[in-house]
Amino acid sequence: MAVGLSKISELLPVKGVQVSACAAGIYIEKREDLALISFGRNSNCAAIFTKNAFCAAPVIVAKNHLKNGNPSFCLINSGNANAGLGEKGVEAAMDVCRHLADHTGTPVENILPFSTGVIAEPLPVVKIKKAIPTLVDKLREDAWHNIADAILTTDTLAKGISRKLDMPDGEITITGIAKGSGMIRPDMATMLAYIATDANIDELLLQNLLNDAAEDSFNCISVDGDTSTNDACFIVATGESRVAEIKSFDEGSGLLFKNSLLEVCVYLAQAIVRDGEGATKFISIYVADGKSEGECREVALTVANSPLVKTAFFASDPNWGRILAAIGRSDLSDLDIERISISLNDVKIVERGQRAETYTEAEGQHVMNQEEISVHIFLGRGSASAVIWTCDLSHEYVRINSEYRS
């Protein structure tokens, strides 16, 4: 069960956006596994994709279409990644895009395909094409819950959040959904995220805003240290609210929107970790007093991705020497261990590079028994800081991934 994560309560419609989902038969069990997001061609869009060199065919196609088209549809399937298939995969992605384009009278360049699921299995093109008319017929404003379910793979819960912003000249809505549970680490961490707003924002500004928001949210999570071939984060701004165009995010309405978008992204990113495959604990790793944010992130990721650290958290074992060892092997030059201090929640375990005199095993055990734990690492070599959110590594993670294709 996801750690501290509950079912979605409410997802607000966004003016200018319609969504739908249906069962195309991609999964063995019957469930919704195909989703569609539709928006006006006057909308502005931005996206970030995986940095994995073996990026999936839909990523290749979506990138090209974003450069050459004016997107109006996102077509998303779960259960099949359409990755590791070379030109055949690209042609399959284009085939379903062409079919949707023909059915809706839309240029094929205006369709962005997304896939998630098993790698190196041919995309079931015939099933997807057969389901597209149903998918188009079901489009409506209030089906966000349906598409949040349809994009899931090993997730135990759908992930979504909405925010309504009161501006001096009207209201702006932001709604976002995401999927992800395993194969998660920064650089788009297997995750997909879709965010829609009726705000009026220039395309370049929107891309810069998404880049910044993702850097402080989706690129701050790790479940198992693996980056998928299919990861993507997409945002559309329809401009259909009555609020004036946002031209700056430094103050006023622009700053409020920027902070609200970051809040949405952080919630979705943390939800992915809370629902990490087999997760029983949610762990925040804060690294401070570094020379740069980059080296702080390096230390945090080294700790977060350590199997020994993660299994100790799963066992609720205050074997914090594993944290110390992970810090020591992180790629930092001239690390002075005598300046390092570490705490678990409010319990100091290391001071000046060695076991804190005040530390007791009972205090450490009390912290490790909790579902949510904060690790605070102070490097004593600067003023920079960073945070990474992660989870433990359990027997269930091994079972899920060993049985993934069975």
Tally Cβ neighbours within 10 Å of residue 337.
Answer: 14
Identified catalytic residue from 50, 154, 190, 227:
190
The closest alpha carbon to 11, from 166, 149, 171, belongs to 149
| Residue 179 near residue 152 (C-beta atoms within 8 A) | yes
Of the candidates 371, 362, 342, 339, the residue with the CA atom closest to the CA atom of residue 352? 339
The rounded distance, in Å, linking the Cα atoms of 299 and 386 is 9
Query: Rounded to the nearest 5°, which phi and psi values hold at 372?
Result: -120, 125
> Can you tell me the distance from the alpha carbon of 375 to that of 339, in angstroms, rounded to the nearest whole number?
17
Strand order in the sheet with 384-391: 221-222, 384-391, 282-290, 372-378, 341-344, 347-351, 354-355
- The dihedral formed by the CA atoms of 98, 101, 105 and 110, expressed in degrees to the nearest 10: -120
CB 126 within 8 A of CB 93: no
Q: Are the beta carbons of 240 and 352 closer than 8 angstroms?
A: no
For the sheet with 34-39, list strands across it: 17-22, 34-39, 73-80, 111-118
Q: Which two tokens stand for residue 291?
A: 């020379």
- Please confirm, yes or no, whether 190 is among the known catalytic residues: yes
Task: Copy the structure tokens of residue 99.
Answer: 């079919």
**Which amino acids are annotated catalytic?**
190
